[in-house]
Amino acid sequence: MTIELKLNGKTHTVDAEPGTPLLWVIRDDLKLTGTKFGCGVAACGACTVHVDGAPVRSCQTYIEDLEGSEVTTIEGVNSDAAKAVQTAWAELDVVQCGYCQSGQIMSAVGLLTENAKPTVADIDEYMNGNACRCAAYQRIRAAILRASDLMEA
Amino acid sequence: MTVTTTRRGFLASAAATTGLLAIGISPKGAFAKAGTGALNPFVTIASDGTVTAIVKHFEKGQGTATGLSTLIAEELNMSLDAIKFEFAPSDPAVYNNFLFGPYQGTGGSTAMANSYAQYRGAGAAAREMLLQAAANRWGVSASDLSMQDGMISGAGQEAGIGEFVAEAAALNVPAEPRLKDPSEFRIIGNADVHRKDQDAKINGTAQYAMDLHLEGQMVVVIKRSPRMGGVVASFDDSAAKEINGFIQALALPNGAGVAVYADKTWAAFQARDAVEVTWDFAAAETRSSDDIRRELLAALDDNAEFDASSETDLSDTLSAIEGAAQVVEETFYFPLLAHAPMEPLGATIEPLADGGVIIHDGAQFPTSNHNALSQILELPMEKVQVNTMLAGGSFGRRATPTADYQVEVALAFAMTDRTRPVKLVWSREDDITGGYYRPAFAHKVRVGLDDAGKIVGWDHRIAGQSIFKGTFFESVIVHEGIDHSSVEGAADTPYAIPGMHFGLTDNKPATTLLWWRSVGHTHTAYVMESMMDIAAKAVGRDAVAFRLDYLADGTPDQERKAAVLRLAAEKAGWGQAAPGRSQGVAVHKSFGSYVAEVAEISRDADGYVKIEKITAAVDCGLPVNPDVIKAQIEGGIGYGIGAVMRNEITLSEGATDQINFPDYEPLRIHDIAEIETHIVPSTVDPTGIGEPGTPPAGPALANAIAVDGPRVTSLPMTNEGIDFV
């Protein structure tokens, strides 16, 4: 099937079978590789993107369900929350291997967009689906708190 | 092009056309190997002043790119931000890990220990040559000049370093380049410098092997035997032919699986699901993990196959325990574990116009890749290039002596007409079920204590599955039948404990095995530090004070171990836990570094354990990048804790039961509330940091749980009735 996919502010005409996960359209068709494949079963969060501004797991989001929706990936995210998150990530040297970090950042932006002053408990609950095998978690937590402060400033 | 060398082996070259000063090292045979005239260097300086560190160890998140760049930047008096880095090509003659032998590879937490002198020396040689070239041109003495932030100045002159590249390259390389005195360090030891690889990892542009899209590439996925030793008898791909984008399915020539080729990844996964394989399991493994557990535990009661203590007779140990006032005894079991790095495995082979190939890979062992491709593709070594890309974690998994997944992609490529790039992709299911696990181990320890509460005998039996036997590292690691990695961290403990004896019995592996972050220390530290706690408790002693009694001989080894223990205890407020909280401690030496950790836990009304805080102290020699060291301790703790809490791989008739993260649940953000790391200042040459944070984490947690709860001696803890919030 052919669908018109709105992604990062542009409309792409994509030819894909129904049931194709958004993840693979983003990675293999549009060749935007910031969105990562980690598990394929929505258990790690590495593939997190925004659909209409809210984080979803792109490995479990199907291409036929996106007609009329706006998809944002790590390459296109640029809200105030995103800028604050990416600044805080750099300040605190959050990344190690980095493979999960696009997904972590997309989730963190989702959290701060919904809740600009999250508590540690809010962060732990919201970010629970984003696995980091390097276990950079305490820096992720600290960077979200820092980003929240940056947004307020 | 001119090339000069020195008796110390530093080598400089400059290509007149490109205007490059390149400083490397000249091992025996380097000239002969550099047939193109090119020298593989550690640092290059271009005529526009661009400085590039050529990083010989891959970056899996452990901070090597930052660390090796730091050494170059320091000796060149430049800011870390001002220099670039590239990963080295495959060239074991130049980029060998000299702790591994004539072999290029990363592992055993050796990257900094192995590179510290080389990269500083290369940077210092470049600095001296550039200064001399400027001095010659200006007719002044080099001692009147200084180099800072890419500029050379003095004697009323100033110019950028790039201007002197060609002249510097014509000079002799200093025989003994003067390394900066540690008092002059501005970047080494600076906690405020930032990682060099982070921007690309924050904005999504970082490229891992999984991200490569080459023109015309095919994606290949492999349907593998679910049991070790199973081979393809036949297969039916008729249903796969209905999948749009499917290209072909071919049995691998070694019978290990069916390679399924498609235009894109999703089509390849779907086509693989549609391929029906009939397996020949005649030679396949049939044991379950329960069988292995029974065999390992039974082996502890027999006489050990190998005596791992050269200085103590078992009979002396046994009679000391016989005569002891009190004996404590425990049996421990450690399951198989998967590494599960975030980036599933994979690599791409790209054909070149001259008939050669490039393998694009997060290459942990470039030499294994290089050899495997040369052999399988029947290409001379110089026709095979290894392009090392960022790796999305490894924890040991990307380094296999068999080059397992690189062999797969080479076999898959070899079966094509070799005109299109072939990209191998593993799924998470492939990763979790795919073997190369941390081996299963069992330990049984009996400790005799006298009336004064002192240890008089320690009978320690280990049964497990050797990682190194049958690999090309066997001659280095295995001596008189004993795989050192099976007893490391126990038989070589810095504790001065009288009457210590270690026995080892090997068990036949039921699956493929591999080193897993901190290798043998993953189980030996847990046992050593649990037993020290049990013994201390039995004689009513404080766990820290008891350990310090056995670290009192005044050797540097013991003093360093004692110092981290004291520091962690002090910073954690040892003995002063708030009501409702319990503390446990563990201290361990691994990879030349010393780490102590205090775990503090609480329990909620339902008895669920919450890990409130881990306080760590580390001595890894001179701290090159303090913030990277902290990150590695934080990550090492998390990696160890996650596995100890709830991870195990089990086998049913030789096949792995777990398939993906839902049943091999990784550590999550809420699992550890806080980690605090303290670094012991040191001027000793740097030692490992990627792994040493992991070993003490599990036993520190176990010891905290045991204060008011059960003593967990079989892992994971969740199997033993421990629930976590």
Q: Do B661 and A44 touch (CB under 8 A)?
A: yes
Task: Give the pLDDT confidence score for residue B27 in this predicted structure.
Answer: 52
Q: Do A133 and B203 touch (CB under 8 A)?
A: no
Nearest by CB to A134, which of B61, B266, B662? B61
Return per-residue pLDDT of chain A as tens, 153 residues. 899 999 999 999 999 999 999 999 999 999 999 999 999 999 999 999 999 999 999 999 999 999 999 999 999 999 999 999 999 999 999 999 999 999 999 999 999 999 999 999 999 999 999 999 999 999 999 999 999 999 998
Task: Give the pLDDT confidence score for residue B20 in this predicted structure.
Answer: 83
Nearest by CB to B202, which of A24, A32, A105? A105
| Residue B638, number of CB atoms within 10 A of its CB | 28
Task: Give the pLDDT confidence score for residue B6 in this predicted structure.
Answer: 53
- The answer to whether B401 and B472 are in contact (CB under 8 A) is yes
371-400 in chain B: CB under 8 A from chain A: 390-395
| Residue B674 reports pLDDT greater than 60 | yes
pLDDT in tens, B518-547: 999 999 999 999 999 999 999 999 999 999
Distance (Å, whole) CA B314 – CA B503 = 9
Task: Give the pLDDT confidence score for residue A76 in this predicted structure.
Answer: 98
Number of C-alpha atoms within 13 angstroms, CB side, residue B710?
A: 14
Q: Which of B30-34, B202-206, B385-389, B649-653 has the lowest mean pLDDT?
A: B30-34
Q: Do A136 and B635 touch (CB under 8 A)?
A: yes
Question: In B244-324, which ranges are E strands?
Answer: 246-251, 257-262, 276-280, 306-307
Q: What distance in Å separates residue B190's CA from the closest CA in chain A?
A: 14
Band of residue B337 on the pLDDT scale cut at 50, 70, 90: very high
CA B3 → CA A112, B17, B30, B567, distances in Å? 57, 14, 11, 50
Nearest by CB to A133, which of B197, B341, B628? B341
Task: Give the pLDDT confidence score for residue B18 in this predicted structure.
Answer: 58
Q: What distance in Å separates residue B60's CA from the closest CA in chain A?
A: 5
Distance (Å, whole) CA B85 – CA B70 = 10
Distance (Å, whole) CA A80 – CA B610 = 35
Nearest by CB to B428, which of A31, A39, A134? A39
The answer for residues whose C-beta is within 8 angstroms of residue B655's C-beta and 6 or more apart is: B226, B227, B433
Interface check for A98 against chain B (CB to CB < 8 A): the answer is yes
Interface check for A130 against chain B (CB to CB < 8 A): the answer is yes
Nearest by CB to A17, which of B207, B244, B342? B244
| Nearest C-alpha in B relative to A49 | B204
Q: Kindly tell me the sign of the dihedral angle through the C-alpha atoms of B410, B413, B419, B423.
A: negative
Q: Do A86 and B202 touch (CB under 8 A)?
A: yes
Distance (Å, whole) CA B44 – CA B659 = 46
Q: Which residue has better confidence, B285 or B100? A: B285
- The residue type at B223: K
Distance (Å, whole) CA A101 – CA B684 = 34
Q: Do B668 and A90 touch (CB under 8 A)?
A: no
- Predicted TM-score (pTM) of this structure: 0.96
User: Please, which contacts does B577-583 make with residues 24 or more away whose CB atoms are closer than 8 Å?
Assistant: B581/B612, B582/B704, B582/B705, B582/B707, B582/B708, B583/B704, B583/B707
Q: What distance in Å separates residue A91's CA from the closest CA in chain B?
A: 8
Distance (Å, whole) CA B671 – CA B629 = 21
Q: Do A36 and B342 touch (CB under 8 A)?
A: yes
Burial class (CB in 10 A: 0-12, 13-18, 19+), B64: buried
CB-CB neighbors (< 8 A) of A124 in chain B? 669-670
What ipTM did this prediction achieve?
0.98
Task: Give the pLDDT confidence score for residue B16 in this predicted structure.
Answer: 45
| Residue B109, number of CB atoms within 10 A of its CB | 26
Q: What distance in Å separates residue A68's CA from the closest CA in chain B?
A: 23
CB-CB neighbors (< 8 A) of A40 in chain B? 269, 427-429, 660
Q: Do B392 and A98 touch (CB under 8 A)?
A: yes
Percent of chain B beyond pLDDT 90? 87
| Residue B432, number of CB atoms within 10 A of its CB | 22
Band of residue B85 on the pLDDT scale cut at 50, 70, 90: very high
446-505 in chain B: CB under 8 A from chain A: none
pLDDT in tens, B268-321: 999 999 999 999 999 998 999 999 999 999 999 889 999 999 889 999 999 999
| Nearest C-alpha in B relative to A29 | B264
Q: Do B669 and A127 touch (CB under 8 A)?
A: yes
Q: Please state, rounded to an integer, the average pLDDT across all residues of chain B.
A: 94
Classify residue B158 by its DSSP letter.
Answer: E
Interface check for B197 against chain A (CB to CB < 8 A): the answer is yes
Question: In B620-685, which ranges are E strands?
Answer: 651-652, 655-656, 675-679
Task: Give the pLDDT confidence score for residue B24 in this predicted structure.
Answer: 80
Residue of B669, B671, B672 for testing the chain A interface, max A β-carbons within 10 Å: B669
Distance (Å, whole) CA B11 – CA B25 = 5
Question: In B339-410, which ranges are E strands?
Answer: 346-351, 357-361, 384-388
| Nearest C-alpha in A relative to B207 | A33
Distance (Å, whole) CA A55 – CA B615 = 34
Residue with tokens 């990416």: A86
Interface check for A86 against chain B (CB to CB < 8 A): the answer is yes
54-83 in chain B: CB under 8 A from chain A: 60-63
Interface check for A78 against chain B (CB to CB < 8 A): the answer is no
Task: Give the pLDDT confidence score for residue B93 in this predicted structure.
Answer: 78
Band of residue B8 on the pLDDT scale cut at 50, 70, 90: low
Q: What distance in Å separates residue A106's CA from the closest CA in chain B?
A: 10
| Residue B456 reports pLDDT greater than 80 | yes
Interface check for A1 against chain B (CB to CB < 8 A): the answer is no
**Region B43-47: what's the mean pLDDT?**
92
**Region B396-405: what's the mean pLDDT?**
95
